[in-house]
Amino acid sequence: MVTCLIILALACAASVDVFVGGQGGHAVYRIPSALRLEGAPAPGRIVAMAEARGSLADVGSNDLVMRTSDDGGATWSAQRTVLHAEGRSMNNPCLVQSARGPHAGRLILMAQSYPERCDERCVVPGFDADASGDRVCRTVVAHSDDGGATWSSPRDVTREVKRATVVTSTATGPGIGIQLARGPHAGRILMPFNEGPYDRWRVYAAISDDGGDSWRMGEPAPTPGPGRANEVQFFERQDGTVVLNARQHHGARRRASAESRDGGVTWSPVADVADLPDPQCMGGVLALGGGTVVFTGCDSESRRALGTAWVSRDDGRTWPVKVPIEPGGFAYSVPVALGPGRVGVLHEAAGYACIAFKVIELSPAPGGGAPAGPASPAPRQP
C-alpha cells in the first residue's frame, strides 16, 4: 500500500483526489459516474459515484459509494455508501437527472447486481434462479429528490431492461444517462446499455417516458462488421438525433458510433469513428450546447494512458481539437459541464490507485489558437 500511495501522489498531484484506494474501508475504487445538477434542490452540485471494491476484480463484494461537491470540484463531502447488497456485487453506476416533466429535479441511479462470485461469463439468461442458485445479472434503480442527501430503496427493474432469452449480462453505461431536450421525444430519459453473452455484446437504450417510474427496451444497434460495441454513452445533437459512442472489441482500434432518429428506439448500423482511438476502454461523452461536444478517453490504440479531451464543434461529426488531461495512466472517465468553456473530468488514474477530478479549459486560447490545457487545479485534497 505504501508503494501504491507514492505512485498516487505523483500521478494525481495536479488533480483533486475523490476516491482513493485504501481509504474509506475499500482497497480499490473503479468505474466513475458524475454529473452536475440543474435547478432545485441543489443547483450546481456535482454528484460523483464509483464502485468500492475489495480488489481489482470486477465482481466481488462491491458497494456503490458517493461524494458530492458544491464548489465546482475543489472540495468534496464525506464518502457515503448508496447501494449495498449482502452476497451481491453492485456494478456499473449510471446517473441521470430528470430536469423536466414528471419528477423534475430527481436524480436517478441505475446499476447492476451480480452474484458475489459470478461475473458476466457465469450469469445465465432469464430472470429466475436456477439449480445452481441465483446466477442472474439483475438491474436496480434508486432515486434521490434532495440532491443526493437521501436515496430511495433500490427497485428491481430487470424484467423491464433485459430480454427474456439469450441475454446473460447487462450493463448500464457506465457513466451517465441523458434526458432528451428536443423534438417529439423531449423529456424522454435514455440509459445506455450493453448486453451479453460475453464477447457477443450489443448496445441499446433503456427508455423511460415517465421520469423513471417505468422502463422499456429499444432495439440493439446493428453490428455489420467484426467489431462489437460494448460500454456505451449517448449524446443528443441540436436536431434531436441521438448518437451513441461505444468501446469496441475485435474491430478497428477506434470508437464505435451509431445514430437514432426515433429517440433511442432503433439505430443505424454501428460504424468506426475515424478521429477517436480506442485501446478497448470506456470513454465519456457530453454535449455542451451549440453543437459543441466533448469526448474524454485515451489518446492511444493500445494503452490506458494519455488522457485527452477531444472537442467537436459540429455535433460530434468530426473531432479536430485535442486537449490534454493526464499524461500518465488514464482509464474510465466522465466529463462534467462546469460553465462556458470549462469541463471537469472524473477519471481513473495512477494504475487504478485513485479516481481524480481535473478541470480543463475548452475555450480557444488567446489569438484563436487551440484550446488551453488543464486549468489551474483546485488545492489538492488529502
Residue 192's CB: how many other CB atoms inside 10 A? Answer: 29
Q: What is residue 3's predicted lDDT score, i.e. its pLDDT?
A: 31
Give the count of domains, the chain: 1
200-211 confidence digits (pLDDT tens): 999 999 999 999
Tell me which DSSP letter residue 118 carries: -
Identify the domain containing residue 31 by its residue range.
Answer: 2-361
> Among the listed ranges 4-13, 250-259, 316-325, 335-344, which one has the minimum average pLDDT value?
4-13
Residues 10, 19: Cα–Cα separation, whole Å:
16
Determine how β-strand 88-98 pairs with β-strand 175-176: parallel
- Give the pLDDT of residue 133: 82
Bridge partners for 242 per DSSP: 236, 260
pTM of the model: 0.92
- 59 domain residue, yes or no: yes
pLDDT at position 368 over 50:
no
pLDDT of residue 264: 98
pLDDT of the residue at 14: 61
Cα dihedral across residues 20, 24, 28, 32: positive or negative: negative
Q: What pLDDT score does 40 carry?
A: 87
Asked whether residue 374 is domain-assigned, the answer is no
Q: Is the pLDDT of residue 11 over 80?
A: no
pLDDT tens, 97-144? 999 998 999 999 999 999 998 999 999 999 998 877 899 999 999 999
- pLDDT number for residue 363: 64
Instruction: Please indicate, yes or no, if residue 375 is contained in any of the structural domains.
Output: no
Question: Is residue 120 one of the residues assigned to a domain?
Answer: yes
**Residue 123 located in a structural domain:** yes
Query: How sure is the predictor about 377, in pLDDT bands with cuts at 50, 70 and 90?
Result: very low
CATH of the domain at 64: 2.120.10.10
